[in-house]
């Protein structure tokens, strides 16, 4: 498996870590409602892994652009260099097993121009379940020299998301749970509903417990939602984390052109003039 493929399994990672120049490991464990993943890292992590915080290092400050907006390139570069990320050197990211924060980390590094990055399939729990070693010893990597060059993956803003949703030949996927899409409940953001024209494909329909189906099964599931070969496609969620997982799934399905609406619903509803749809239909 090359360093540019999206996923790596535990056995392959163990083999690569035993090599003289192993991949850089980033621990990005995170929970939407806390507690901070740094506590999990301190309690046990893969040897050599450095904790990188999704909220404060891989995203910009929350605000009108959403709860997890794009990070400032200079700040991201500083964080990645502090974590030991080197230009052109493979990176493996892992999370607590649901695959969401690792997917957002994968997406962020790819957006930043760092192509050799993979997600540990199944995350930290898969590593532990395989009987592979962990440690509580702090990691002290040599400073990296990566240069952040934004634009490595396509991004949607609110206007572009609206155009895609309204395009008869495009698909904007809303990956939130169906009740949130329908506007029946909204536990986080101030307005319930969805972007008019977006189709609902909740994350559990294409990923189970952080593990992805085979490429053909993913292609079939996305095709059922209207994503066929050549169809422009983008994804959004509440704040661009679960949607990054959808973009990773689309890459696995052969759609590396899939775009992420980074601000997602938290950005959309920040402007009261933007329309909101409710109900089960786009």
Domains and CATH numbers, the chain: 7-129 (3.40.250.10), 155-268 (3.40.250.10)
Residue 2 above 80 pLDDT?
no
Nearest to 37 by CA among 57, 54, 16, 13: 54
The tokens describing 21, both together, are: 């120049």
Handedness of CA 187, 244, 73, 6 (dihedral sign): positive
Check residue 67 and give its pLDDT. Answer: 96
Residue 28 to residue 59: CA distance in whole angstroms: 12
Q: Which of 46, 237, 249, 252 is catalytic?
A: 237
The tokens describing 180, both together, are: 């949130």
Check residue 36 and give its pLDDT. Answer: 84
Check residue 40 and give its pLDDT. Answer: 96
Check residue 34 and give its pLDDT. Answer: 82
Across the chain, what does the average pLDDT equal? 96
Residue 214 above 80 pLDDT?
yes
Residue 245 to residue 258: CA distance in whole angstroms: 11
User: How does DSSP assign 87-142, residue by residue?
Assistant: TT--EEEE-SSSSHHHHHHHHHHHHTT---EEEETTHHHHHHHTT---B-SPP-PP
Residue 5 to residue 119: CA distance in whole angstroms: 9
Distance of CA 87 to the CA centre of its chain: 21
The whole-number average pLDDT for the span 96-124 is 97
- The verdict on whether 237 is a catalytic residue reads yes
Residue 4 pLDDT class (50, 70, 90 cuts):
low
Burial of 277 (0-12, 13-18, 19+ CB in 10 A): middle
The whole-number average pLDDT for the span 241-261 is 97
Residue 1 pLDDT class (50, 70, 90 cuts):
very low
């Amino acid at each position: 498996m090359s360093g540019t493929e999206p996923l790596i399994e535990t056995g392959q990672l163990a083999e690569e870590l035993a090599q003289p120049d192993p991949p850089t490991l980033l621990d990005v464990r995170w929970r939407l409602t806390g507690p901070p993943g740094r506590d999990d890292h301190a309690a046990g992590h893969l040897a050599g892994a450095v904790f990188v915080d999704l909220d404060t290092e891989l995203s910009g400050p929350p605000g009108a652009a959403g709860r997890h907006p794009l990070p400032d390139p200079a700040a991201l570069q500083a964080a990645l260099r502090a974590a030991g990320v080197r230009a052109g050197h493979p990176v493996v990211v892992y999370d607590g097993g649901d695959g969401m924060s690792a997917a957002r980390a994968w997406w962020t590094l790819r957006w930043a121009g760092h192509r050799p990055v993979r997600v540990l399939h199944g995350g930290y729990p898969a590593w532990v379940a395989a009987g592979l070693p962990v440690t509580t010893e702090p990691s002290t990597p040599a400073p990296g020299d990566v240069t952040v060059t934004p634009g490595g993956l396509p991004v949607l803003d609110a206007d572009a998301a609206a155009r895609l949703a309204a395009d008869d030949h495009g698909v904007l996927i809303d990956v939130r749970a169906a009740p949130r899409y329908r506007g029946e409940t909204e536990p986080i953001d101030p307005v319930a509903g969805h972007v008019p024209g977006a189709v609902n494909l909740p994350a559990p329909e294409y990923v189970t417990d952080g593990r992805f189906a085979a490429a053909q099964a993913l292609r079939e599931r996305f095709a059922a939602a209207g994503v066929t070969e050549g169809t422009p496609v983008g994804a959004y969620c509440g704040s661009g984390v679960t949607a990054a997982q959808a973009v990773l799934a689309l890459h696995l399905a052969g759609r590396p052109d899939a775009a992420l609406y980074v601000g997602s619903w938290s950005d959309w509803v920040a402007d009261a003039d933007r329309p909101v749809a409710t109900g089960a239909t786009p």
